[in-house]
């Protein structure tokens, strides 16, 4: 049969004339000059491939017909356009996996949620998990293989490997990120056996290397320390921000357990958290007693504590400044009273000897084996990676290493400055770099291979505690990136690799019984087993005493200012620098966006002549910090609660050539960090340049000004007066209007529905309400990112944040209270209150914001003309205005905007400029649940309790947010509303908010308060 | 007790030796003679500012409200301040022409035309701001209750909607009132005009006025009715503008004192603006004998009274903040005084509390230069009053976490400055082509207008013949024996 149809249908005369130009034109979706993806991945291609894969795969959303991935739950029989599928997977962060369930819209992952079956998630996530979707759809992720900077094909790289690595005698250095994947570690073993002269180092700029070395000193074995915060009565965090995902890779589980230990509803006593730290961290802000201490003094503190507790091997070297300190005696008393129920935990970057000492103290307190357990890592190296790393750098400089294979990571940017990684890599003949971005290291590499995002690959791995999972792809690699295992396998075999078969091969002998069933079960569940790494009961080796001798004489820390370098709470080591959501997330403690700063206490600031920023003062002094033979200019920030004589900086900023988001934001502080001074440098030189620098901070005022917005009491006060959080108690005055309400025989608080319907609530509709438990909330900011991901909230950039126009629908307010130098910090997430008597609704001239029958304050974007009157009249200031066309700028900026558009939630309208927006209680989730319930129950509009979870609630690692139907007296949220800690924000305004708060209860040691 | 009444004649309202004819000539000569060079210069400057306004507004509509300095707590800034300020200024004209007309204040005739013109142009400037300050100006017609296919009405409980009605009604009535007053004068110009174009134009504007008894009868009735209609509007428009603030729950806004306080402030600033303009115009156009010192003093007295009312309102706000025990109100008052915008508060105190006190002195009240300076200071002060109310209350309200500092951008400033271009473009056209004093009305308060009591020799009233019941120019002083 001829290709030409018998009858010619033509759309235009040009087509009829078989014009070549027209043919091209007709094939293009968009006319000439319209931007289209350059790498052959246009929307049409995408749809074509989608269509084909759906047709071929039948039920799976994956576009590889033979590699079946299975839905986790809620699986429709077929793909129904508009109905998302949910697939289990896991996100690796260093060598710890967090189990996830990923929402997939027609083959397009848009949102991650925690996997309730996975121990490191239990249904929750960290902000890094939530931000992962934007990382994947980052248009500036590296898209191609490059040879000496020029675009090359992957085939060329494969043939290079084939030829280059056929010589197995090469001196190869593998520098890898921490990775718990058994497939990866098998390949690592294969590589080391195949290339006898190869060295392997796991390098992470911030990791648990020192903790592993510490256990090596204490127990003669590199072991993972797992703290069980839910089982502890007393927790002592020594410079350890274990609730912060940037400081601890198991933060979600830590947070869950910590919150469980603080649960007031069980009626038991809650745990007590002591924090001894230099920087005011998220963990420190949740501490019941907090001791500000320079990081360089932590060692003396630990020694004094060890001596007070008579732990053998730890001495204060006679006595030091903490020997008779009240903190030491009180802490020792409390720890002694809670033997086997306490935890001492030390910040990762402290030196190994100190980790050994803390392990010894935990052992002496009988904590080891109960609240603190030690586990054998199946993939742990028996070497100090930091030592190996510097050996490799030496080898490079001596030119004894000819090939460097860098598997992820960016050592040129983040290796200790004294190692001069750039110089060392220049000396190597061949540098091969696998990475997400064409970054600082890639620029020095002969071969750059673009890495696939974890949502695009097959892989596997363990959670922090050792629960194994398989990572299954959600989408074909957008830019044909390769996973670490594929990359490594290509180097070993010299052939193209296929992650799916590699992972399957690993699991062939791990799955007992039928492989296919077992495999599918693991994919479905997102977890293979909840088994932990093998626990060992270690005994102290004799090495501790000797190790602790070393350094005992350095007991007096310098009087000068110390510099503490920490990972950034948003960018971590810099790997998330091109993520706009994270850049724009206010730091939990400083509320600064789009910058890193030098944090210092008010007293240190005074010494340096630094003025604090505040209301109307956005400009801060620029400092010159001289340390370790270099100097860095960085803006100063006065952080109440910071240790005196100490300055903290975070890393990851000051990037060049990474992307539009990351570049030129903040200051690169890595040059200040050397192998000898990974955590702190003493006696640095700081100068105030007198120049000013403008900071975009979202909270200019830190005091509640005597307004009882965030209510808290100590455990004792709560026991004595369980109603402490009620208005009458908080203000020692009667609630305005209550008298009237009583006289008129109305129950306070009144409800709008009393007046209208003559009954409490329309009973055919659910009545939505939310409660935020401030006792659980740790202030991490995960809710903000989750909300941003769910509700298509645009990133607006530093200038607009500086103008005070941040768009977050849920913000976390952080207040300081008490002593200016050593205050308490408190966190309060504030979404829309969905007031029953909403002040915003009354003032809108065009009725664009109105109430729904199910009690939500709704915003009709199409009707809004943008007078901003509603935002003015909102006492909670939760309404956000599109001053510019932010969404348009966010989604059409850059060379290839269509990629980032794929990250958007199709169920949420994007907002045009000139309209108001705000928290909707995730109305899209509510309504889809209502529709589903209506279909399934033949008409009821009330979804069962727990069926609707708002994005913030679902993501929250501390389960601080409750949401549900108030007409159901047994719903979780109704129970919280009856709780005596429940109170309404600004109750006296009679706005009758549907969102309420549960007051915070602390458990401080009265002797130290 | 016996009483003895003595007539104390008021000074003549129109100074100099004027006849009806000389008044007509004095006022009609400006529209009918050729354009002076100075006018062109002034008009060029005004046009330049107008172009700045149009350009800035164009850019605003093109790029979005974000070009202004607004932020999350402060959703309203200069635009709303300028709106309230211009509306306030727009109060003087109708007050002078309507309320003083009903109270038979003859001195109003010297300035009413002038003040009404100012009112109309000021309300035009004011009306611009609510329109351009919305995020989506292309759907602003949704604020009008127009039946539509969406079946949605505006929200009648929103003060912004009341504003729409209040300001548009005020503008319409003021314009009508002004035009009705202009009809006899247009006829005068028509009759005196030499050029054909002027004759035709003024002729059309004069609506066929013949000066017949019936014409005058209808005119007087219409004028009276419109004055009656306009009088409540003078009070209502700023009352309703104040509702934009008072009806909300923001501390510093939510206050029952706002309506009278806003009206007093409006009259205060309106009179100041009339004075500023009048003192310049009378000099340039040689109208010192009509817009004379006596009238200036009377206006100064009104300013002194309203200024002190405003000052009293400030005091009351402070007292209420303290007495209410309402911590947010106390907080906002304290922030006024010592907060980040305290500089604005102290400018306000100087302009609106201290400055009017100078007017207690008769010599200052009658000093042209000082009056001019005071009138300018008062207008600055009233701008700052709106600044403090709008910005400070919003940017530092209930939640200290959301407090933010508001500062304007170049575009805020350009649009404000540009409205002076709009104002003066129209005002200069008015000065050039229309009778800037109500010719017919001024004649009505001259001694010649009272044939029974007029003495041609002295060119004044004959005191002995005057009767208290009809002498609207005279006051009665009670003397106790």
pLDDT tens sequence across A385-409 = 888 888 888 888 888 888 899 998 8
Q: pLDDT higher for A292 or A40?
A: A292
**Among B72, B138, B139, B163, which would you mutate to test the A interface (most chain A Cβ atoms within 10 Å of its Cβ)?**
B72
Whether residue A526 is contained in a domain is answered as no
Whether residue A358 is contained in a domain is answered as yes
A1007 has pLDDT over 90: no
- CB–CB of B158 and A842 under 8 A? yes
- For A329, residues 6+ apart whose C-beta sits below 8 A from its C-beta are A308
Give the pLDDT of residue A77.
Answer: 59
Strands (E), B322-474: 454-455, 460-461
Q: Is B144 on the interface with A (CB under 8 A)?
A: no
Give the pLDDT of residue B44.
Answer: 96
Give the angle A611-A613-A615 at the CA atoms, nearest 5°: 135
Whether residue A119 is contained in a domain is answered as no
Give the pLDDT of residue A651.
Answer: 93
One domain for residues A641 and A716: no
Whether residue A759 is contained in a domain is answered as yes
Q: Which two tokens stand for residue B14?
A: 């129109």
Per-residue pLDDT band for B459 (boundaries 50, 70, 90) equals low
Q: Between the CA of residue A581 and those of A451, A798, B277, what are the distances in Å?
A: 21, 12, 54
- pLDDT (tens digit per residue) in A875-905: 999 999 999 998 888 888 777 778 888 889 9
Residues from chain A contacting residue B394 (CB–CB below 8 Å):
872
One domain for residues A727 and A689: no
Q: Is A861 on the interface with B (CB under 8 A)?
A: no
- CA B117 to chain centroid, in Å, comes to 9
One domain for residues A616 and A668: yes
- pLDDT (tens digit per residue) in A722-738: 889 888 888 888 887 77
CA distance linking residue B326 with residue A916, whole number of Å: 30
* Closest of A90, A378, A77 to residue A223, by C-alpha: A378
Please list, residue by residue across A929-959, b when 16 or more beta carbons sit within 10 angstroms of its beta carbon and e when fewer do: bbeebeeeeeeebbbebebbbbbbbbbbbbb
Per-residue pLDDT band for A35 (boundaries 50, 70, 90) equals very low
* Closest of B302, B219, B215, B211 to residue B263, by C-alpha: B302
Crossing angle of helices B410-433 and B78-89, in 10° steps, is 20
CA distance linking residue A813 with residue B212, whole number of Å: 75
- CB–CB of A915 and B136 under 8 A? yes
Q: Is A319 on the interface with B (CB under 8 A)?
A: no
Closest partner residue to A616 (CB to CB) among B139, B401, B405 is: B405
C-alpha neighbours within 13 Å on the C-beta side of residue A714: 11
Last residue of a domain, one of A647, A662, A697: A697
Strands (E), A55-213: 71-73, 85-93, 96-105, 108-114, 145-147, 150-152, 172-176, 199-202
Whether residue A954 is contained in a domain is answered as yes
Whether residue A572 is contained in a domain is answered as yes
Residues from chain B contacting residue A867 (CB–CB below 8 Å):
133-135, 160
Q: Is B158 on the interface with A (CB under 8 A)?
A: yes
Contact A442, A149 (CB under 8 A): no
Number of domains within chain A:
3
CA distance linking residue A244 with residue A650, whole number of Å: 14
Per-residue pLDDT band for A871 (boundaries 50, 70, 90) equals very high
Q: Is A619 on the interface with B (CB under 8 A)?
A: no
The domain that contains A335 carries what CATH number?
3.40.228.10
Last residue of a domain, one of A376, A399, A431: A376
Q: Is A884 on the interface with B (CB under 8 A)?
A: yes
Instruction: Please state which of the ranges A28-42, A420-434, A525-539, B12-26 shows the lowest mean pLDDT.
Output: A28-42
One domain for residues A894 and A758: yes
Give the pLDDT of residue A51.
Answer: 56
Per-residue pLDDT band for A968 (boundaries 50, 70, 90) equals confident
- CB–CB of B402 and A877 under 8 A? yes
Give the percent of chain A with pLDDT over 70.
89
pTM for the whole structure: 0.87
One domain for residues A656 and A787: no
One domain for residues A785 and A648: no
Whether residue A355 is contained in a domain is answered as yes
Contact B90, B271 (CB under 8 A): no
A865 has pLDDT over 90: yes
How big is the A-B interface in CB pairs under 8 Å?
Answer: 172
Give the pLDDT of residue A8.
Answer: 46
Give the percent of chain A with pLDDT over 90.
44
The domain that contains A779 carries what CATH number?
3.30.70.20
DSSP assignment of A503-546: HHHHHHTT--S-HHHHHHHHHHHT-SB-PPSPEE-----THHHH
One domain for residues A693 and A780: no
What number is the ipTM of this complex? 0.90
Whether residue A423 is contained in a domain is answered as no
Q: What is the mean pLDDT of residues B36-53?
A: 94
Give the pLDDT of residue A62.
Answer: 43
Q: Is B127 on the interface with A (CB under 8 A)?
A: no
Residues from chain B contacting residue A700 (CB–CB below 8 Å):
403-405
- CB–CB of A701 and B401 under 8 A? yes
Can you give the residue range of the structural domain that contains A248?
223-376
The domain that contains A632 carries what CATH number?
2.40.40.20
One domain for residues A684 and A817: no
Per-residue pLDDT band for A758 (boundaries 50, 70, 90) equals very low
One domain for residues A602 and A741: no
One domain for residues A793 and A872: yes
- pLDDT (tens digit per residue) in B199-221: 999 999 999 999 899 999 999 99
Please list, residue by residue across B194-219, b when 16 or more beta carbons sit within 10 angstroms of its beta carbon and e when fewer do: eeeebeebbbebbeebeeeeebeeeb
A555 has pLDDT over 80: no
**Among B390, B400, B411, which would you mutate to test the A interface (most chain A Cβ atoms within 10 Å of its Cβ)?**
B400
CA distance linking residue A818 with residue A826, whole number of Å: 11
Give the pLDDT of residue A21.
Answer: 54
Q: What is the mean pLDDT of residues B30-38?
A: 88
Query: Which residues 313-372 of B are in CB contact (within 8 Å) with A?
Result: 327-328, 331, 339-340
One domain for residues A764 and A799: yes
Q: Is A858 on the interface with B (CB under 8 A)?
A: no
* Closest of A958, A774, A783 to residue A122, by C-alpha: A958
C-alpha neighbours within 13 Å on the C-beta side of residue A903: 30
Last residue of a domain, one of A672, A697, A722: A697
Task: Give the three-class secondary structure for A830.
Answer: strand
**Among A868, A870, A911, A988, which would you mutate to test the B interface (most chain B Cβ atoms within 10 Å of its Cβ)?**
A868
One domain for residues A757 and A674: no
């Amino acid at each position: 049969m001829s290709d030409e149809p018998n009858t010619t249908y033509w759309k235009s005369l040009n087509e009829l004339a078989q014009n070549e130009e027209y043919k091209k034109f007709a094939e293009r979706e968009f006319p000439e000059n319209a931007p289209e993806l350059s790498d052959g991945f246009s929307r049409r291609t995408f749809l074509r491939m989608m269509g084909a894969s759906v047709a071929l795969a039948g039920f799976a959303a994956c576009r590889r017909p033979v590699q079946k991935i299975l839905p986790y739950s809620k699986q429709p029989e077929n793909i129904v356009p508009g109905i998302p599928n949910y697939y289990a997977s896991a996100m690796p962060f260093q060598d710890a996996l967090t189990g996830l369930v990923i929402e997939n819209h027609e083959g397009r992952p848009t949102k991650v949620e925690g996997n309730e079956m996975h121990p490191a998630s239990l249904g929750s996530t960290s902000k890094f998990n939530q931000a992962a979707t934007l990382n994947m759809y980052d248009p500036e992720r590296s898209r191609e293989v490059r040879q000496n900077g020029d675009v090359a094909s992957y085939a060329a790289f494969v043939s290079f490997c084939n030829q280059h690595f056929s010589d197995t005698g090469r001196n190869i250095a593998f520098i890898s990120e921490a990775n718990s994947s058994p497939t990866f570690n098998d390949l690592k073993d294969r590589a080391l056996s195949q290339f006898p002269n190869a060295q392997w180092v796991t390098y992470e700029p911030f990791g648990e290397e020192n903790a592993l070395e510490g256990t090596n000193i204490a127990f003669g074995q590199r072991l993972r320390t797992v703290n069980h915060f839910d089982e502890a009565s007393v927790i002592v965090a020594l410079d350890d921000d274990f609730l912060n995902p940037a400081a601890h890779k198991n933060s979600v589980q830590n947070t869950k357990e910590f919150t469980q230990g603080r649960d007031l509803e069980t009626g038991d006593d809650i745990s007590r958290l002591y924090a001894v730290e230099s920087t005011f961290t998220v963990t420190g802000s949740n501490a019941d007693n907090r001791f500000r201490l320079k990081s360089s003094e932590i060692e003396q503190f630990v020694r004094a504590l060890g001596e007070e507790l008579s732990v053998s091997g730890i001495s204060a070297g006679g006595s030091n400044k903490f020997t008779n300190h009240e903190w030491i005696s009180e802490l020792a008393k409390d720890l002694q009273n809670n033997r086997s129920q306490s935890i001492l935990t030390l910040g990762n970057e402290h030196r190994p000897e100190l980790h050994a000492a803390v392990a010894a103290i935990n052992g002496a307190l009988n904590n080891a084996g109960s609240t603190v357990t030690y586990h054998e890592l199946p993939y742990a190296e028996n070497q100090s990676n930091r030592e190996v790393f510097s050996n490799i750098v030496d080898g490079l400089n001596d030119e004894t290493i000819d090939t460097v294979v860098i598997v992820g990571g960016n050592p040129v940017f983040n290796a200790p400055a004294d190692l001069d990684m750039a110089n060392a890599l220049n000396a190597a003949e061949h540098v091969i770099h696998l990475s997400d971005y064409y970054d600082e290291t890639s620029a020095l590499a002969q071969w750059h291979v673009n890495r696939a995002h974890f949502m695009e690959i097959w892989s596997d791995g363990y959670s922090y505690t050792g629960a194994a999972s398989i990572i299954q792809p959600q989408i074909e690699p957008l830019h044909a990136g390769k996973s670490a295992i594929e990359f490594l396998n290509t180097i070993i075999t010299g052939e193209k690799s296929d992650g799916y078969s590699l992972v399957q091969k690993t699991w062939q002998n791990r799955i007992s019984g039928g492989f296919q069933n077992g495999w599918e079960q693991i994919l479905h569940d997102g977890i293979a087993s909840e088994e932990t790494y093998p626990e060992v009961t270690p005994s102290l080796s004799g090495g501790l005493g000797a190790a602790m001798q070393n350094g005992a004489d350095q007991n007096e820390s310098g009087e000068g200012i110390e510099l503490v370098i920490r990972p950034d709470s948003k960018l971590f080591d810099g790997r998330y620098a091109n993520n706009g959501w994270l850049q724009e997330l206010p730091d939990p403690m400083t509320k600064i966006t789009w910058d890193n700063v030098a944090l210092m206490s008010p007293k240190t600031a005074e010494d340096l002549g630094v003025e604090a920023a505040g209301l109307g003062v956005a400009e801060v002094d620029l400092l010159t910090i001289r340390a370790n033979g270099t100097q860095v200019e960085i803006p100063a920030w006065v952080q109440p609660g910071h240790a005196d004589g100490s300055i903290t900086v975070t890393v990851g900023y000051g990037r060049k050539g990474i992307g539009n988001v990351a570049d030129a934001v903040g200051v690169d502080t890595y040059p200040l960090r050397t192998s000898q001074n990974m955590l702190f440098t003493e006696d640095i030189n700081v100068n105030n340049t007198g120049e000013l620098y403008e900071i975009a901070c979202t909270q200019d005022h830190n005091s509640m000004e005597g307004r009882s917005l965030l209510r808290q009491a100590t455990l004792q006060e709560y026991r004595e007066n369980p109603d402490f959080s009620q208005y009458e108690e908080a203000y020692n005055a009667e609630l305005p209007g209550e008298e009237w309400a009583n006289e008129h025989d109305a129950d306070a608080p009144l409800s709008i529905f009393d007046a209208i319907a003559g009954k409490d609530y329309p009973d055919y509709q659910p009545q939505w309400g939310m409660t935020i438990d401030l006792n659980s909330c740790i202030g991490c900011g995960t809710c903000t990112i989750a909300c941003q991901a769910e509700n298509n909230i645009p990133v607006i950039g530093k200038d607009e944040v500086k103008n005070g126009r941040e768009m977050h629908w849920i913000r976390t307010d952080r207040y300081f209270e008490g002593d200016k130098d050593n205050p308490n910090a408190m966190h309060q997430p504030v979404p829309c209150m969905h007031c029953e008597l909403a002040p915003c609704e009354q003032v809108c001239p065009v009725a664009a914001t109105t109430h729904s029958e199910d009690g939500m304050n709704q915003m009709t974007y199409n009707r809004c003309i943008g007078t901003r009157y509603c935002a003015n009249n909102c006492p909670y200031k939760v309404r956000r205005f599109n001053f510019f066309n932010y969404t348009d700028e966010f989604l059409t900026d850059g060379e290839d905007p269509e990629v980032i558009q794929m990250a958007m939630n199709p169920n949420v309208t994007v907002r045009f400029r000139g309209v108001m927006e705000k928290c909707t209680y995730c109305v899209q989730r509510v309504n889809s649940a209502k529709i589903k319930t209506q279909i399934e129950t033949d008409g009821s509009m009330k979804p069962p309790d727990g069926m609707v979870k708002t994005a913030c609630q679902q993501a929250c690692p501390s389960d601080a947010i409750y949401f549900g139907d108030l007409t159901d007296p047994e719903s979780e949220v109704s129970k919280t509303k009856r709780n005596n800690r429940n109170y309404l924000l600004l109750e006296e305004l009679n706005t009758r908010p549907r969102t309420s708060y549960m007051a915070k209860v602390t458990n401080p040691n009265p002797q130290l308060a | 007790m016996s009483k003895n009444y003595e007539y104390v004649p008021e000074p003549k309202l129109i100074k100099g030796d004027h006849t009806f004819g000389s008044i007509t000539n004095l006022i009609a000569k400006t529209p009918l003679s050729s354009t002076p060079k100075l006018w062109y210069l002034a008009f060029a400057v005004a046009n330049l500012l107008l172009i700045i306004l149009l350009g800035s507004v164009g850019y605003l509509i093109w790029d979005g409200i974000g070009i202004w300095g607004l932020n999350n707590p402060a959703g309203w800034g200069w635009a709303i301040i300028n709106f309230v300020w211009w509306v306030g200024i727009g109060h003087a004209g109708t007050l002078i022409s309507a309320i003083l007309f009903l109270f038979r204040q003859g001195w109003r005739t010297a300035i009413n035309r002038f003040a009404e013109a100012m009112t109309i142009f000021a309300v035009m400037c004011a009306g611009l701001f609510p329109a351009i300050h919305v995020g989506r100006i292309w759907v602003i017609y949704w604020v009008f209750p127009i039946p539509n296919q969406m079946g949605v009405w505006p929200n009648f409980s929103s003060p912004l909607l009341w504003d729409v009605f209040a300001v548009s009604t005020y503008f319409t009535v003021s314009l009508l009132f002004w035009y009705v007053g202009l009809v006899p004068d247009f006829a005068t110009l028509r009759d005196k005009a030499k050029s054909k174009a002027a004759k035709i134009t003024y002729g059309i504007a004069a609506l066929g006025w013949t000066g017949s008894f019936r014409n005058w009868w209808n005119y007087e009735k219409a004028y009276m009715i419109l004055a009656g209609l306009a009088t409540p509007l003078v009070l209502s428009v700023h009352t309703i503008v104040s509702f934009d603030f008072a009806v909300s729950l923001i501390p510093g806004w939510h206050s029952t004192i706002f309506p009278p306080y806003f009206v007093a402030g409006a009259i205060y600033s309106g009179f100041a603006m009339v004075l500023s303009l009048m003192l310049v115009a009378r000099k340039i156009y040689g109208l010192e004998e009509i817009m004379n010192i006596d009238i200036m003093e009377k206006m100064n007295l009104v300013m002194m009274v309203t200024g002190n009312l405003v000052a009293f309102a400030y005091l009351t706000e402070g007292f209420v903040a303290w007495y209410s025990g309402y911590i947010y109100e106390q907080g906002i008052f304290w922030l006024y005084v010592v907060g980040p915008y305290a500089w604005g508060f102290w400018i306000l105190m100087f302009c609106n509390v201290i400055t009017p006190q100078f007017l207690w002195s008769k010599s200052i009240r009658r000093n042209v230069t000082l009056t001019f300076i005071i009138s300018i200071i008062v207008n600055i002060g009233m701008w700052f009053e709106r600044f403090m109310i709008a910005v400070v209350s919003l940017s530092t309200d209930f939640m200290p976490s959301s407090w933010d500092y508001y500062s304007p951008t170049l575009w805020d400033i350009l649009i404000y400055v540009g409205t002076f271009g709009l104002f003066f473009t129209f005002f200069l056209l008015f000065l050039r082509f229309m009778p800037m004093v109500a010719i017919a009305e001024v004649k009505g308060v001259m001694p010649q207008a009272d044939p029974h009591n007029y003495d041609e020799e002295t060119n004044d009233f004959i005191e002995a013949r005057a009767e208290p019941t009809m002498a609207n120019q005279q006051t009665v002083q009670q003397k106790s024996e």
